[in-house]
């Protein structure tokens, strides 16, 4: 990209007319999703130029199993927020999209009204294969949206594998949608999700109000057992800290969206005042940098000729109980560190060595 093209792209993302801006955002996000080294350099320059114009938006993560009604909820929420004067961007993290062809947000008809609104910007999940790569691209796309003036960024995930953690790690607040089954039929809450949730939403509460109320009580009780839910009646409760809440909602009927947004606003006000929001973002930025470093080191390692040559047999020997895992690791590290990696600062995507299935 020429310097002129780059400065035009930057200007259009920041200040373009609505159609210009929309085209520039799509172009910028496509650029940063590219794996071509020259694109990557242009994308880094663009991101660093956009960065001063980011950070003012609220970043909201939303997770839930298929069928819980995420699209309906996000459309209702998005339209509500636009009605309040906001501009809303919706992004997605779906590491399976490269396989499935994009199961979330790929089909814009899922959010018919929101997707055609000029104050909304919807972008499906990048499809770069592994979760770390998908999450990194989505983080960067989030910065593009923020620089373009979208002040609410929603990041959606279906909750495949570790994707909830990835979304919680890039957002200011993480919400989990649940179905209103209760008692013996209460669907199991996915491992580790309860600990990430700042807000649990029992969606489709109109289907069975009693079940929704029981589910609310049960989840509140589980949060308490996990030490995550404050108890207003005890000394453990601290008014200056956020304690995860459980609320009911019916997105289809449009009921509860205002209560949802009230809870989000409470969270934002409290966590801004007590400094937790700023601390969370700093922690996320640091962790993101190290995550990308770790990922890059692993890729360079997995592509190294000496490692590629020795790894399969050594791993077989480890799995067969013939070589101690730590000794195998030291042998491979020695091979990697004693010879410089292949020329070229740009590390290619790994083949299959990096997915740990080897």
Alpha-carbon Rg for the chain, nearest whole angstrom, is 23
- What would the x/- binding string for a copy of itself be over residues 154 to 193, using CB under 8 A? ------------------------------x-xxxxxxx-
Span from 12-20, 50-58, 123-131, 256-264 in contact with a copy of itself (CB under 8 A): 50-58
Encoding tokens for residue 288?
A: 């993101």
C-alpha to C-alpha distance for 286 and 292, rounded to whole angstroms: 10
Q: Does 352 bind a copy of itself (CB under 8 A)?
A: no
Options 285, 305, 309, 349; binder of a copy of itself; rule CB under 8 A: 285
Distances in Å between the Cα of 12 and the Cα atoms of 43, 124, 318, 346 are 15, 21, 54, 29
Residues that bind a copy of itself (rule: CB under 8 A) add up to a total of 74
Distant-in-sequence, close-in-space partners of 87: CB < 8 Å, separation ≥ 6 = 119, 120, 121, 149, 150, 151, 152
Q: Does 345 bind a copy of itself (CB under 8 A)?
A: yes
Q: Does 88 bind a copy of itself (CB under 8 A)?
A: no
- Asked whether 93 and 135 are in contact (CB, 8 A), the reply is yes
Options 22, 40, 117, 243; binder of a copy of itself; rule CB under 8 A: 40
Encoding tokens for residue 269?
A: 């006000």
Distant-in-sequence, close-in-space partners of 347: CB < 8 Å, separation ≥ 6 = 296, 299, 300, 303
Options 222, 247, 270, 306; binder of a copy of itself; rule CB under 8 A: 222
Q: Does 134 bind a copy of itself (CB under 8 A)?
A: no
Q: Does 4 bind a copy of itself (CB under 8 A)?
A: no
Distances in Å between the Cα of 290 and the Cα atoms of 18, 171, 283, 296 are 36, 17, 11, 10
Pick out residues in 293-312 that bind a copy of itself (CB under 8 A): 293-294, 296-298, 300-301
Pick out residues in 51-70 that bind a copy of itself (CB under 8 A): 51-52, 54-55
Pick out residues in 230-249 that bind a copy of itself (CB under 8 A): 231, 234
Options 102, 288, 306, 310; binder of a copy of itself; rule CB under 8 A: 288
Q: How far apart are the first and last CA of the chain?
A: 38
Catalogue the E-assigned strands of 64-119: 88-93
- What would the x/- binding string for a copy of itself be over residues 243 to 282, using CB under 8 A? ---------------------------------------x
Q: Does 194 bind a copy of itself (CB under 8 A)?
A: yes
The residue among 87 and 304 lying less far from a copy of itself, judged by its C-beta, is: 304
The residue among 109 and 191 lying less far from a copy of itself, judged by its C-beta, is: 191
The residue among 20 and 295 lying less far from a copy of itself, judged by its C-beta, is: 295
Options 333, 348, 349, 351; binder of a copy of itself; rule CB under 8 A: 333
CB of 66 to a copy of itself, least distance (A): 17
CB of 185 to a copy of itself, least distance (A): 9
Distances in Å between the Cα of 168 and the Cα atoms of 35, 281, 282, 310 are 25, 11, 14, 37
Annotate 163-230 with three-state secondary structure.
HHHHHHCCCCEEEEEECCCCHHHCCCCCCCCCCCCCEEEECCHHHCHHHHHHHHHHHHHHHHHCCCCC
């Amino acid at each position: 990209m020429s310097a002129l093209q780059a400065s035009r792209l930057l200007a259009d993302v920041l200040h373009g007319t609505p159609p210009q801006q929309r085209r520039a955002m799509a172009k910028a996000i496509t650029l940063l999703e590219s794996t071509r080294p020259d694109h990557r350099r242009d994308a880094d320059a663009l991101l660093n130029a956009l960065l001063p114009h980011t950070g003012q938006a609220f970043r909201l993560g939303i997770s839930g199993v298929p069928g819980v009604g995420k699209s309906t909820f996000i459309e209702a929420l998005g339209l509500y927020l636009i009605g309040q004067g906001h501009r809303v961007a919706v992004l997605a993290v779906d590491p399976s999209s490269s396989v499935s062809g994009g199961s979330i947000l790929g089909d814009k008809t899922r959010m018919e009204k929101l997707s055609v609104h000029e104050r909304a910007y919807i972008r499906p999940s990048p499809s770069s294969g592994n979760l770390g790569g998908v999450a990194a691209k989505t983080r960067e796309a989030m910065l593009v949206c923020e620089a373009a003036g979208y002040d609410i960024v929603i990041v959606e995930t279906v909750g495949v594998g570790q994707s909830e953690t990835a979304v919680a790690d890039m957002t200011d607040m993480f919400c989990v949608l649940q179905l209103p089954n209760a008692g013996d039929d209460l669907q199991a809450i996915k491992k580790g999700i309860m600990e990430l949730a700042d807000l649990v939403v029992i969606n489709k509460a109109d289907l069975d109000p009693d079940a929704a109320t029981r589910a609310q009580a049960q989840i509140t009780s589980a949060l308490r057992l996990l030490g995550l839910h404050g108890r207003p009646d005890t000394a453990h409760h601290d008014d200056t800290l956020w304690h995860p809440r459980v609320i009911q909602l019916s997105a289809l009927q449009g009921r509860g969206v205002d209560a949802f947004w009230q809870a989000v606003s409470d969270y934002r006000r409290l966590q801004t005042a007590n400094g937790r929001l700023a601390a969370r973002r700093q922690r996320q930025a640091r962790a993101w940098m190290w995550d990308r470093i770790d990922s890059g080191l692993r890729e360079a390692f997995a592509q190294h000729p000496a490692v590629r040559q020795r790894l399969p047999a050594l791993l077989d020997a480890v799995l067969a109980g013939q070589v101690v895992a730590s000794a195998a690791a030291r042998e491979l590290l020695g091979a990697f560190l004693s010879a410089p990696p292949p020329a070229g600062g740009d590390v290619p995507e790994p083949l299959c060595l990096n997915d740990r299935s080897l």
